[in-house]
Amino acid sequence: MLGLLQHACGIDPKANLAATLESARAAARDGAQIICTQELFGTQYFCQSENHGNYGLAEPIHPNPGPTTQAFQTLAREEKVVVIASIFEQRAPGLFHNTAAIIDADGALLGIYRKMHIPDDPLYYEKFYFTPGDVGDVNNSGFRAWETAFGKIGVLICWDQWYPEAARLTALAGAEIILIPTAIGWHPAEKAAEGAVQCDAWQTIQRSHAIANGCFVAAVNRIGHETPAGGEGIEFWGQSFVAAPSGEVIAQAAADQPETLLVQADLTQVHEARTHWPFLRDRRIDAYGGLTERFLD
């Protein structure tokens, strides 16, 4: 059973961590086996401005786990659950990533996933903060899948969710569940005119990954209206959800309420979907070379 932790973030990182640990423990006790946080749950979404002070929010993960990773390793071991925890990582002085720690049910740090696609948009100034994940480096970056105690999983982070290439590579690596911590919301000035279409596009592209790859996709988003840089800020749209390999949304949280989504993911559906819609059988790998080009002009 998946446990997706959707909530609002306050100003105090310690309180955010404590609340997330508490939700994770409650989810475990309610039967969750694979627990996933929202993106950068430890803080408000600081990327709304380019502020050098925010680098101080980062902590190490690999090879020497920092306090947040350690806290979830302890929880994972005690509760016998898999945890995907999204953390602002300092890899070295001046080198930062938007990273997820993948922790197995015995508390071992199975690996990390460093966000590969980094956005840069008004109020989402991530290219200022995060170096994109490396390809196939020794720290287990790049698109990957991990055999956990409760299934083979892959992780993508937020902006990655718009790239079919990312989902495909994660599925080809063996993932049967793709978990996607995210932080996405409405610009308050756009919400009335474009909010519904934006939200629907966000869910549609992720459902399409489930369909194309015959796997589960679980997106975990935050809620709350945050204005850490002043101005109108961002109203995070919540609506964390799980899509089955058929593309069906089998669970969805509210747009404005904290919620732990507990969702049964029957992995036999992966075999069922992939044999009845046998897309992996017919990929034209001889014809896909152009995908490593920027544009075919």
Residues binding a second copy (CB under 8 A)? 116-119, 121, 132, 135, 142-143, 159, 162-166, 168-169, 172-174, 197, 200-201, 204-205, 207-208, 211-212, 246-248, 277-280, 282-297
- Pick the closer one to a second copy by CB: 138 or 293: 293
Say whether 59 is catalytic.
no
Closest contact distance (angstroms) between CB of 118 and a second copy is: 7
Whether the CB-CB separation of 212 and 279 falls below 8 Å is answered with yes
In the bound state with a second copy, the residue whose beta carbon lies nearer, of 50 and 137, is 137
36, 47, 158, 215: the catalytic one is 158
127 catalytically annotated = no
Q: How far is the CB of 50 from a second copy (least distance, A)?
A: 18
Considering the complex, state which of residue 254 and residue 288 has its C-beta at the smaller distance from a second copy. Answer: 288
Burial class (CB in 10 A: 0-12, 13-18, 19+), 200: exposed
Residue 291 to residue 297: CA distance in whole angstroms? 13
In three-state secondary structure terms, 9 is coil
Report the C-alpha gap between 128 and 50 in whole angstroms.
7
Is residue 115 among the annotated active site residues? yes
Residue 56: left if φ>0, alpha if ψ -120 to 50, beta else—which one?
Answer: alpha
Q: Is 185 helix (H, G, I), strand (E, B) or coil?
A: strand
Q: Which of 36, 39, 47, 89 is catalytic?
A: 39
Closer CB to a second copy, residue 204 or residue 257? 204
CB of 113 to a second copy, least distance (A): 12
Rounded CA separation 144/54 (Å): 29
Residues designated catalytic: 39, 115, 158
